[in-house]
Structure 1
Amino acid sequence: MDQYCILGRIGEGAHGVVFKAKHVETGEIVALKKVALRRLEDGIPNQALREIKALQETEDSPYVVQLKAVFPHGAGLVLAFEFMLSDLAEVVRHAQRPLAQAHVKSYLQMLLKGVAFCHANNIVHRDLKPANLLISSSGQLKIADFGLARIFSPDGSRLYTHQVATRWYRAPELLYGACQYDQGVDLWAVGCIMGELLNGSPLFPGENDIEQLCCVLRILGTPSPKVWPEITELPDYKKISFKEQAPVPLEEVLPDASPQALDLLGQFLLYPPRQRIAASQESACLGVLGPGLP
């Protein structure tokens, strides 16, 4: 830690406190994430190990935040990241009105390239949201905070917790208690982020898990086994029942968005996870949105 001079506190995530710091010898500005160990005998927390492993797998992508160093400090661990000026949540919060389509397309393009890279390396992020999408001084978007990431099992045999992803960006299968899921949870989150960029505020701002489902159902309608056959196998399907609601056309929800943007949004916000458009189709699906920023 002696090689860094702390410049200030950036914030606190679920898995550690983050500081802005300067490398004493090189002058390089970095973000230092301190991960505390509860007890020495507990070893390094799983979240930190997962984050390190995922970032090592994705270090070749310009759309994933770069991990520069990992070193022990006191009874904990410090992760040194490239410093990023802001995040997408701050960009949306300070925008005077919903972002111009060129900006939406530009951010979405970088997000999809990062997600596609993760998925190609069998990594599911599981906590995509605007606050975890960092923005550099030049406007480059990079995916950060891999503390909930998992190496994905292509055969679908592994069981995972459904208590992942920040609630507003949590896929319906997770809200229904799914323990077997795939990259579809990230693609749903991409749709929620896209909707927020178009809207200037979150599409599904639920205050608890049940209300979160209600927010989704209000717009997309009540899911049925006909539309989503796998829903009947989800653990909480029979525990929760909702009044039948028809879907609301997305053009009524987002009246200022272009038909092309709404069409693409609808391909992310689909109930059956396997039907959501893949991040690797980024070039094809973004072509319809018109020019982005250079």
Structure 2
Amino acid sequence: MEMFKVMGKIGEGAHGLVLRGRHIVSGHDVALKKVTFKKFEDGIPNSVLREIKALRELDSDYDLKPANLLVSRDGVLKIADLGLARIFWSETRPYSHQVATRWYRAPELLYGARHYTHAVDLWAVGCILAEMHNRHPLFPGETDIEQLAIVVRTLGTPTEESWPGLTKLPDYNKITFPHSPGLSWRKMLPGACPEVVGLVRRFLLYPAGHRLPAEKALVHPYFFTEPLPCLVSAMPKPEDGHRQRFKRTEYNVDMPADQMFQALNSLLAAPTDN
């Protein structure tokens, strides 16, 4: 820590506190994570060790969701927060099914699968693309059971024929849902162009092995249809200190609500350098 200077707080999650720091030698801004221990005498939690290992490996399964996809000042997309990620070594090795954030968790994980592949990330990508279009989550379950129920109701009830190996998943016989024919893609993605629907539906498939591989997704017609992706150099970039514009004023919690919102509206209406 002597190599960094803490500049402020970014956020707080289930596994600790994220601070904004600056590398003293290079001057680069970095994110620093401060892990909290409930009982230090019990040792370092497995979840913390797992995240540290994932950060060191960097070639692993991820916890893909919109909140963990950050765009740097240079316009580069970066994946952050590996608290629910897992190191992936081999398809024959068993893993925990409690990976990824619930709304973006693949159905094989919801059925308790201990053997899975990187295809769980492809499912998450499909969920994110759908959310970008709809501007709200596609499968917003509050519990694991509700999450699976929403997926089944939306995509339709899977069978052994449509999803080979379904009946052999650990939790398949533990819960049943009413039969659902599924929703049409027009209802799932209202107003979406055929290219968006075509790409999303290639990711949101029950059989993991049928999901569109990432390298093939990159040449999908969606990326060659107007409006075309812009060059990194043309992407809008935040100005230095843009976050601090919203942190200059501290509000008194005892302040009447009308005064508080009046002050907040004044801040939001303040002119920028853009």
Structure-2-length-normalised TM-score: 0.76
Question: 1:202, 1:180 → 2: CA distance?
Answer: 26
Q: Which structure has the larger Rg over C-alpha atoms?
A: 2
Deviates more, 1:2-11 or 1:169-178: 2-11
**Map of 1:189 onto structure 2:** 124
TM-superposition CA deviations, 1:85-118 (whole Å, max 9, x none):
xxxxxxxxxxxxxxxxxxxxxxxxxxxxxxxxx4
**Map of 2:61 onto structure 1:** 124
RMSD: 2.1
Question: 1:226, 1:30 → 2: CA distance?
Answer: 49
Q: Check whether the contact 1:260–1:288 (CA below 8 A) recurs between aligned residues.
A: no
Question: 1:238, 1:39 → 2: CA distance?
Answer: 40
Count of aligned pairs: 228
4+ runs of 1 displaced by more than 4 Å? none
- The equivalences for 1:212-223 within 5 A come to 212-223=147-158
Question: 2:98, 2:52 → 1: CA distance?
Answer: 21
TM-superposed deviation, 1:289: 4.1
TM-superposed deviation, 1:240: 1.3
Question: 1:138, 1:25 → 2: CA distance?
Answer: 20
TM-superposition CA deviations, 1:241-292 (whole Å, max 9, x none):
1111112121222122110110110010000111111112232225454421
Q: Check whether the contact 1:176–1:236 (CA below 8 A) recurs between aligned residues.
A: yes
Q: Check whether the contact 1:251–1:259 (CA below 8 A) recurs between aligned residues.
A: no
**Map of 1:171 onto structure 2:** 106
Q: Tell me if 1:262 matches 2:197.
A: yes
Q: Check whether the contact 2:7–2:22 (CA below 8 A) recurs between aligned residues.
A: yes
Q: Which amino acid aligns with 2:70?
A: L
**Map of 2:257 onto structure 1:** none
Q: Secondary structure at the match of 1:151?
A: coil
TM-superposed deviation, 1:34: 1.3
Q: Which amino acid aligns with 2:164?
A: P
Q: Check whether the contact 1:10–1:18 (CA below 8 A) recurs between aligned residues.
A: yes
Question: 2:142, 2:191 → 1: CA distance?
Answer: 26
Q: Which amino acid aligns with 2:61?
A: V
Relative contact order (alpha carbons < 8 A, sep ≥ 6): 1 or 2 greater?
A: 1
Question: 1:25, 1:160 → 2: CA distance?
Answer: 40
- Structure 1: tracts of 5 or more residues without a match: 59-117
Q: Check whether the contact 2:84–2:101 (CA below 8 A) recurs between aligned residues.
A: no
TM-superposed deviation, 1:208: 1.2
TM-superposed deviation, 1:25: 4.6
Counting strand residues as a fraction of each chain, which structure ranks higher? 1
**Map of 2:30 onto structure 1:** 30
Q: Secondary structure at the match of 1:142?
A: strand
TM-superposed deviation, 1:149: 2.8
Q: Which amino acid aligns with 2:68?
A: N
